Structure 1
Amino acid sequence: MKVIIAEKPSVAQGIASVVGTRQRKDGYLMGTDMP
């Protein structure tokens, strides 16, 4: 498991798009296909 912490939601969404995260939860993004 890898955890990536971002201070701003826009930064988190940018990181999520690069690593392929698709699921948006309550206050966090989650994915299972991270390299």
Structure 2
Amino acid sequence: MIFVTDNVIGHTIDRKLNTGQFFKTILSLKVKSAILIS
């Protein structure tokens, strides 16, 4: 649920910046964090 929410927020920010680089970076960091936590 949290991951889905982060995706929605990230997508909104991504559209505001009109670039996918920021979202990809955040998503990459979240995936790495999730792996470390689990």
TM-score range, shorter chain: 0.3 to 0.5
Structure 2-normalised TM-score?
A: 0.41
Quick check: which has more Rg, 1 or 2? 2
Q: From the two aligned structures, give the one with the greater helix fraction.
A: 2
Larger fraction in strand:
1
